[in-house]
Amino acid sequence: MRKPRILLVEDEIVVAADIEECVKGLGYQVVGAAASGAEALRLAAQTEPDLVLMDIKLKGALDGIEVAAMLYERHNVPVVYLTAHADAEILERAKKTAPSGYVLKPFDDRTLRTAIELAFEQHRRERSLIETGQRLSTAVGSIDEAVIITNEAGRVTVMNRLAETLTGWKLEDALGRSVADVFTALNSRTGSLQSSPIGRVLREGIGVGLGEHTLLLGKHGRNALVQGSATPVRDAQTEQVGVCLLFRAVAQRARDEDWGSAEHGSANRLVLLGRLTEAVAEQIISVLTSARGRTRASGLAKRLVDFAQREPAPPVELDLNELVAGMEDLLRCALGSGLELRTALSARTGLVKADPGQIELLLMNLAFAARENVSRGSLFIATSVLACDDSADSYAMLAVHPEGGWHPTADMPALDEITRQSGGEIRITSEDGAVKIFLPKVTEPLAA
């Protein structure tokens, strides 16, 4: 197994020798020792270390804090500061470089080992979050709203292409930065700097709108009037773990289109995808603390990508039970922490003829509607076969029943729109507190 590779930056020769001996004694490999900032940058480029131990006070033009910022930007390498100085001004400057730790001199072997191991673990978690964020960004790339998602510290973890375009920031440059650096806005009427909506959401745990006069300052001087909202991202225990910022340039929408209204596209897959992205992000951020959790996060991200890439299609033969079972993770995300998902899938259901994308939209709309109308309870989804007098087992029925006091109806605008788009292949009724979706069963192979 390869030993972790560490670069030491210390301008006192005797002290550097002592630290190097200590690091080697702890089982790490020292790939070099630099006495100046310039030498540290050169050695880092040559040796590609896994971690840098950096003295803050260095002789020469660059001090340790400036060098650490350059190393993180160029090589994304974690830095642990070694310093005998703990005054507030130095620590405030150091914090802006997002260090992986501090060790105050003098220190012993145990203190140094703890700082190094914690730095490696933090860096692994950050990389995992960034990789998952990149998968999520791929999934939300086609949403017709700009999306930025932050962690609980207000640092960017997810950003889609439209957000890149409007802010002028590339995803790889924005990841890990404070959202205030990426999303900076003025009041278009007064010219004054607007307070960050992210800060308020993090402080108060509520959703807020951006208002009607928000001028987003693009990184390269391309400014745009935007509208949108910032909402909390919560984990399974309802703890706030970040913020989801959705926004759009005013010029991209019709003047008479009311942001957030039903006319804004309640049944539109892209808008629904925006809501689902936020819900999936809640789950992904909450499970990234373990290897098993990272596997589940990758699975959720993949399912979101599949949902995002689904295109309208002619009806095809599909296994209804398999489709519902494959959606369970996303449906649980859509329902949030307050509602449980229960299913009862009949083995007799078999194949149906339908556009799988339309069934997905129906179930997702019903899941989000249940989340909005039921605070506690469950969403029960069942499949069965409907016998007809003239053709036995000619229809399969998909029943969706929220249990918690709210009764959905078949004339919900989103459901009605999807039904009309199906060209009569999908029929919907509401009775006994449930929405029942009828799909033609496949009784013989479809003609090629």
Confidence of residue 270 (pLDDT cuts 50, 70, 90): low
Are 164 and 140 a contacting pair, CB within 8 Å? no
- The DSSP H or E segment spanning 248 is strand 240-249
- Helix H segments across 34-108? 37-47, 64-75, 88-95
Give mean pLDDT, residues 285-292: 55
Q: What is the pLDDT of residue 235?
A: 54
| Contacts of 20 by beta carbon, 8 Å cutoff, 6+ apart | 8, 30, 33
Whole-angstrom CA distances from 386 to 166, 254, 322, 324, 410 are 51, 44, 19, 18, 18
Which tokens sit at 439? 């799909």
Confidence band (pLDDT; 50, 70, 90) for 437?
very high
Q: Which fold has domain 312-440?
A: Heat Shock Protein 90 (3.30.565)
Residues 39-61 have a mean pLDDT of 89
Domain 5-107 and domain 312-440, same fold? Reply is no
Q: Which residues contact 425 (CB under 8 A, 6 or more apart)?
A: 315, 353, 354, 355, 439, 440
Phi and psi angles of residue 217, each rounded to the nearest 5 degrees, phi first: -90, 110
For residue 95, give both structure tokens. 């914090």
Q: Where does the pLDDT of residue 446 fall: very low under 50, low under 70, confident under 90, or very high at 90 and above?
A: very low
List pLDDT tens digits, range 115-163. Answer: 898 888 877 777 765 666 566 655 555 566 788 888 888 888 888 888 9
Structure tokens at 89: 């001004």
SS3 state at 84: coil
The pair of three-digit structure tokens given for residue 233, joined into one six-digit string: 């991202």
Q: What pLDDT, on a 0 to 100 scale, did the predictor assign at position 397?
A: 92
Tell me the DSSP string of 377-407: EEEEEEEEEE--SSSTT-EEEEEEEEESS--
DSSP per-residue codes, 101-114 = EEEESS--HHHHHH
Q: pLDDT at residue 292 above 70?
A: no
Q: Which helix (H) or strand (E) holds 375?
A: none
CATH code 3.40.50.300 for 127-307: no
**Residue 235 or 310, more confident:** 310
298-326: string of b/e by CB count within 10 Å (b at 16+)? eebbebbbebbebeeeebeebbbbebbee
Nearest partner of 434 among 397, 412, 416, 408, judged by Cα: 408
Structural fold of domain 5-107 = Rossmann fold (3.40.50)
- Give the residue, 10 or 102, on which the prediction is more confident: 10
Domain boundaries, the chain: 5-107, 127-307, 312-440
Query: What is the pTM (predicted TM-score) of this model?
Result: 0.52
Residues 6+ apart with CB under 8 A from 440: 352, 353, 354, 394, 395, 396, 425
The pLDDT-based confidence of 322 (bands split at 50, 70, 90) is: very high
Closest alpha carbon to 335 in 372, 360, 299 = 372
Q: Which residue has the higher pLDDT, 139 or 109?
A: 109
